[in-house]
Amino acid sequence: MYLFNPDNDLALANFTPNYTPPASATRMAEELAVLPIWYAGEDEGIVGREISVAEGGAAVATQTAGQNGRVGENAMMNGCDVLGEENTMIAGEVAVITVGKKETAKDTKVIAGGELNRSFLEAVKKVLPMEASLIPFSDIALYPHLKIVPWGWNPAVRRKLISYGAKEEALPSPEELVRLKGYSNRQHAVEILQELQTEEEEFCGESRFFTNTEELYAYLQSMPGNKVLKMPLSGSGKGLIWILGEITDKQRDWCRRVIREQGGVVAEPVLNKVQDFAMEFYLHEGQIRFAGYSMFSAAASGAYTGNELLSDFRIEEKLCKYAPIELLHRLRNSLTEKLSRRFPLYSGYAGVDMMICETPEGYRIQPCVEINMRMNMGMVARIFYERYMHPGTEGRFVVDYFKKPESALSFHEKMQRENPLTVKDKKISSGYLPLTPVTADTRYTAYVIVC
């Protein structure tokens, strides 16, 4: 059973069972509740692949064969239904996702109630092969044999699941959650960055962890340019403040509060970023596997905005404009060892965010901006690409917010008109696809555009 709880980072930082998320996070969780249908079932037994020139050549051959193969019907999806019976494609058996990976699970539940979500899923199943089904929170106790997989674990989501009938023995214990909180601390990213820089001169960036305000202020004064301060526990662009010139009194108050509540503050110089990307890993019972690349974008505030839908080979091609492929592979191998050693009791995804930066010495990699110890949008995009996109296609995965009523619906209808969805051989070859329902009241949306 999968659950989308996007407030996880805030809840983990708060670390109380009675945590109440902000209204914006609650709304996002409700409006994007069905998002796990697109990645559910992929976490068990995921097998990472070695990326090489040979594999890239094989991928090109596969793409060519796919483009010359049988062309299926076209389909265009509404937020809740498929437009036109003649355009529907009946969902068949789920194909193997990619070489070396298992088939998608056929007994997969997503916790997302409501008629709107059910109608949306039924519409999806007419267009793409999908085995997931939806259940409300009230039905959790009916499936004691199913593992519960939230976006991330914290005391508040544990308490909520128990209140709806989940067995405590099937959930992380309070002691395990304390350990997860420690694993999620940004101090690990600070230390791993320092370790990586001792191994490779080609890496850039600086990150310090301060437990004393006077030492922090002295560091900020000694560093030219703009700086960013980070809470040890937060994520996805949250818990950051930007020091533009001199630190203000309000920002000093923030530093004192964060050090008091979380034990420290992370300080970094603002770099001249060219490209965000990440390496994704899956850890389980002391083993770790590379799960793929993520090439993403973020707003000026640091908040996530979207992912490129590309093969791992294409992402490496793009990154090689800035850094040698051998350096990327050495970094991947080094992180595999470091994450396995630091987090031996963790099971789940771990995404290591990175940046390509322009420096006086040329382009450099900042190899460890932060580590997300949970499911993340980069993995959603990675899985979606491999499961549902036709070989040879590329696109973009977007999570968006619309401030005004009916703006999301207007955008959705415009995209449907201008970018009708086309499906070939049960894979998307082009067009726009909403990943969550869209109505006049919708503010948060997730969608893909494929070309």
Instruction: Please give the domain boundaries of the chain with CATH numbers for all domains.
Output: 2-181 (no CATH), 206-270 (3.30.1490.20), 272-373 (3.30.470.20)
CB within 8 Å of 94: residues ≥ 6 apart: 103, 104, 106, 129, 130, 131
Read off the pLDDT of each residue in 291-313 and give the average, rounded to a whole number: 92
Q: In what order do the strands lie in the sheet with 348-359?
A: 362-372, 348-359, 273-284, 287-298, 304-309, 395-401, 444-450, 427-434, 422-424
Report the alpha-carbon distance of residue 197 to residue 203 in Å, rounded: 6
User: Could you report the per-residue pLDDT of 21-61, keeping only the tens digit for each?
Assistant: 999 999 999 999 999 999 999 775 443 343 333 333 333 33
The pLDDT confidence band at residue 5, using thresholds 50, 70 and 90, is: very high
Q: Is a pLDDT exceeding 50 seen at residue 337?
A: yes
Q: Are strands 133-135 and 109-111 parallel, antiparallel or unpaired?
A: parallel
Report the alpha-carbon distance of residue 187 to residue 27 in Å, rounded: 31
Report the alpha-carbon distance of residue 34 to residue 242 in Å, rounded: 34
DSSP string, 86-119: GG-----PPPP-STT-PPPPSS-EEE--SHHHHH
Distance of CA 284 to the CA centre of its chain: 18
Residue 279 CB-half CA count within 13 A: 27
User: Could you report the per-residue pLDDT of 311-322, keeping only the tens digit for each?
Assistant: 999 999 999 999
Residue 14 three-state SS: helix
User: Could you report the per-residue pLDDT of 242-275, keeping only the tens digit for each?
Assistant: 999 999 999 999 999 999 999 999 999 999 999 9
CB within 8 Å of 216: residues ≥ 6 apart: 210, 255, 259, 265, 267
- Residue 426: the pLDDT is 94
Report the alpha-carbon distance of residue 313 to residue 319 in Å, rounded: 10
Report the alpha-carbon distance of residue 242 to residue 11 in Å, rounded: 23
- Residue 44: the pLDDT is 55
Mean pLDDT of the chain: 87
